[in-house]
Amino acid sequence: MSETASSPEWWFYHLSRTTLERAVGPLLEKCLERGWRVLAVSPDATRRGALDEALWTYTDESFLPHGQAEAEGLDAAAQPILITSSTDNQNAASVALLMDGTDLPVDAPFTRCMVMFDDGDTATRQKAREQFKAAKDAGLSARYFQQGPRGWQEA
């Protein structure tokens, strides 16, 4: 099991140039390179399915090892990246990838909470603003990145 922090870092990713499914691969790859497991959470079954497909086809050379919690017979605990509708940390993840307005307590037991939100989704964008403010108000590290012509740019 990876160690988790009692004061997670909150990183926010504002999507404005590509879909979440296209943008998330490099971020998840970096998490795995650090030895971090990821809990990828969305209440939207369509999003979970699209993310599953995107991770299988991330690059021509390989895929990002993952599984959907709802899949029959899946050992959720064994998944380096677990795609799920629940914030229950079934795979002992260090990173929570929060999509589609998913919320966690500001002091959630993760090393990093990554919030991804689309520029065109007003409700999710507003939720991300609230989460950013809550993290800052709690004295936690909160960083904001926006897609630019050369990838993620910190703002």
Residues 69-89: tens digit of each pLDDT: 999 999 999 999 999 999 999
Residues 6+ apart with CB under 8 A from 13: 23, 27, 114, 115, 116, 117, 145, 147, 152
Mean pLDDT of 137-141: 96
> For residue 130, what pLDDT band results from cuts at 50, 70 and 90?
very high
Separation CA 42–CA 106 (nearest Å) = 17
Query: Tell me, what's the pLDDT at 4?
Result: 45
Domain spans, the chain: 9-154
* Terminal alpha carbon distance of the chain: 33
Tens-place pLDDT, residues 10-42 = 999 999 999 999 999 999 999 999 999 999 999
Instruction: Record the pTM.
Output: 0.93
CATH 3.40.50.10110 fits 9-154, yes or no: yes
At which residue do the structure tokens 């307005």 appear?
101
Q: What is the CB neighbour count within 10 angstroms for residue 121?
A: 14
